[in-house]
Amino acid sequence: MKKKFISIGTKLFLAITVSVSTILIPTSIAIFYSVLHEKKVDTLDSLALSTKIMAQNLVAAVDFEDKRGATTTLQTLHLNPSIDGAILLDKKGDLFASYMAQGIHVKELQALLKKLNKKNLTTEIKHIDDRHIITSSVLYSSDGHLATLAIISNTHSLEAFKEKLLITLALVFSVTLIIVLIIATKIKNMVLHPLFTMKNAIQNVKQNKNYNLHISTQNNDEFKILFDGFNSMLSTIKLQDREQLKLIDELQNAKSQIEQIHKNTQDSIEYAALIQNIFIPHEDDIQKHFQDHFVIWEPKDLVGGDIYLFEELREGESLLMVIDCTGHGVPGAFVTMLVKAIERQIVTQLKNSPNLEVSPANILAIFNKTMKHLLKQEDKNSLFNAGFDGQILYFNREKKIMKCASARNEIYYFEQDQLKIIKADRYSVGYKDSDVEYQFSEHMVSLETGSCVYVSSDGYWDQNGGEKGFPLGKKKFKVLLERIHRKSMEEQKQILIDQLLKYQQECDRNDDITVVGLKV
C-alpha cells in the first residue's frame, strides 16, 4: 500500500510543535501539583499553629471547668470565615465546648474527629482531604491530659487557589505554545526554501537531463556546501561518459588482483592445513594403547587453534594432550605450531630420562613458563597476548592409573557407570596476565578395565543453536555422555556429531571443536 505523501515542511512543523508540547505538558502538570502541595502543607501548618495557640488559651477555662469562658474563647474563631467549627472534648471524650459556623452541626464534626483519632484523644491530628482541613491539639495541666481541641476548616480557599493556579498555567502554556508555533513557522520557511530550490533542480535534471544547471544561495552555511556539492556532481556527470571505460578497466584490473591475492592466500592456508594435519597423531598410534577410542577434530576454518597430541613415552606409558589455543583460523594455527614445538622438547626430555617421573601438572607449568618467555609476555604491557586452555593426561597401563592436570576445561570419566568429573584449575597457560610460577593441580585416579575417559575443548558445549540460539552448555554435554558411554566408540563419535549438528541448526560454527574418547 502506497504511503500518503507528507511534506517535509509539515513534518518539521509537527516535530517542533509536538516536541515542545511534550515538554510543556508534563512540566505544567508537575508545577501545578508541586505548588498545590506546598499550598496544602502551608495551610495545614497554619491551621495547626492556630489550634495550638487556641489550646493554650483554653487551658485555664478547662482546668476550672468554665464552659462559658471556653465557649466565649472559641467564638473568636468566627473572625476566620474558612473555619467551619471547633470542638473541645474533655479527657473522657465528652463535649466540653464548641463553636460552629452557620450550617455546621457539632455531631458531624464529632463523628469526623472520632474517626480520625481512633478514640485516642491524646493523639494530635493533621488531616486534609477534599472537604476538610482538620488539626487537633492536646491540652495538658500539671495533672496530665485535660482535653483535646480540634479545629475544622473548609477547603474553599484551597479550591480558589487551585482554580487560579490552573488558569495561570493554562495561560502560560497557551502563550508559550503560540510563540513556539510562530518560531516553528519561521524555522520551517528558513530551512525549506533552500530544500525546495534543490528539489526543483533535481527534478529538472531528472526530466530534462540538464547537466549545465547551476544553483546558488546567498547564505554561507551547510546549504551552500550542499549546493556546491550538487554543482560539482553535475560537472562530474558530464565527464562520466569519457571516464567510464577507463574506470571499468581499472575495476577489472583491481578485481583480477584481488582474485589473485585471494587465491594465493587460500593456497597458503590450504598448505598450512596440510602442515597442521601432519602434527595430528595417527589413530593407529592411539588405538594400540587402548581397547577403543574416537577423535572428533573439526577446525572452524581450514586451520584452527585446537590441536591434540599423543605420544608413547615408554612401554605401556602414554601421554595425551588436548590444547585449545587463543583464537581460531590462521592466528590460532600459529599458536598450535608453537605448542607442538614445546611439546617435542618436553617429550624428548621424558624419553631420554627414563627415571624422570611424568607429571602433567609440571608439564603445564613448563608450557606456561616457556610460552610466556618465547612470546615475550613476562611484561604485562606486552602488545601480544596468547596462550591456551587444555588438559594433559598420562596413562600407565601396568599400574592402571591415570594422572592428569587441566587448565580451564574439566576431564570426565566413568567408574562403574557413574560419571566422575576431574575439576580443572581456573587458570590458563601462557597469557601475559598468567603467573609464571603458578603450580597446576595434579590428579591421579585408578582406572578399571573398560573405563571410559573423555577430554574436550570448549568448542562443543559453547556452540550456539536450539530455538533461542543459546550455547549447548556443559550440562547437556555431560547428560549426552551418560547416555552413550556404554556404546562402541564409533557409535559414540557419530552420536556426538549428529547431536551437535541437530542442535546447531542454522547457526554458524562458533569455534574449533575437539573431543577425544578413550576406553581403557
pLDDT tens profile 143-199: 788 888 889 888 888 888 889 988 998 898 888 888 878 877 777 666 667 777 777
The listed range with the strongest mean pLDDT (38-42, 55-59, 421-425) is 421-425
Average pLDDT taken over every residue of the chain: 86
Pick 514 or 230 by higher pLDDT.
514
Pick 448 or 379 by higher pLDDT.
448
Say whether pLDDT at 456 is over 90: yes
Q: Which residues contact 431 (CB under 8 A, 6 or more apart)?
A: 326, 377, 385, 386, 387
pLDDT-based confidence at residue 225 (cuts at 50, 70, 90): confident
Q: What local confidence, expressed as pLDDT, does residue 465 receive?
A: 94
pLDDT tens digits for 360-384? 999 999 999 999 998 888 877 788 8
Q: What local confidence, expressed as pLDDT, does residue 515 receive?
A: 98
Q: Kindly list the structural domains of the chain, giving each domain's residue range(s) and its CATH number in brackets, ordered by start.
A: 8-159 (3.30.450.20), 281-519 (3.60.40.10)
Average pLDDT over residues 59-87: 88
Q: What local confidence, expressed as pLDDT, does residue 178 receive?
A: 86
pLDDT-based confidence at residue 296 (cuts at 50, 70, 90): very high
pLDDT-based confidence at residue 237 (cuts at 50, 70, 90): confident
Say whether pLDDT at 448 is over 70: yes
- Kindly provide the residue ranges of all beta strands, DSSP E only, lying in 326-410, ordered along the sequence: 388-396, 401-407
Burial class (CB in 10 A: 0-12, 13-18, 19+), 144: exposed
Name the strands in the sheet holding 83-90, side by side, starting at the edge strand that comes first in the sequence: 95-100, 83-90, 144-154, 132-141, 126-128
Q: What local confidence, expressed as pLDDT, does residue 228 receive?
A: 76
The span from the CA of 445 to the CA of 448, in Å, is 10
pLDDT-based confidence at residue 245 (cuts at 50, 70, 90): low
Q: What local confidence, expressed as pLDDT, does residue 1 receive?
A: 57
Q: 107 in helix, strand or coil? A: helix
Q: What local confidence, expressed as pLDDT, does residue 412 receive?
A: 97
Asked if 326 and 305 touch (Cβ cutoff 8 Å), the reply is: yes
Say whether pLDDT at 119 is over 60: no
Q: What local confidence, expressed as pLDDT, does residue 501 receive?
A: 95
State how far the alpha carbon of 156 is from the alpha carbons of 76, 80, 428, in Å.
20, 12, 77
Asked if 217 and 223 touch (Cβ cutoff 8 Å), the reply is: yes
Q: What local confidence, expressed as pLDDT, does residue 5 receive?
A: 64
pLDDT-based confidence at residue 108 (cuts at 50, 70, 90): low
Low-confidence winner among 31-45, 226-240, 317-331, 399-413 (lowest mean pLDDT): 226-240
- Reported pTM: 0.53
Q: What local confidence, expressed as pLDDT, does residue 421 receive?
A: 97
Q: What local confidence, expressed as pLDDT, does residue 248 receive?
A: 67
Asked if 425 and 406 touch (Cβ cutoff 8 Å), the reply is: yes
pLDDT tens digits for 335-366? 999 999 999 999 999 999 888 899 999 999 99
Average pLDDT over residues 263-270: 70
Average pLDDT over residues 411-420: 94
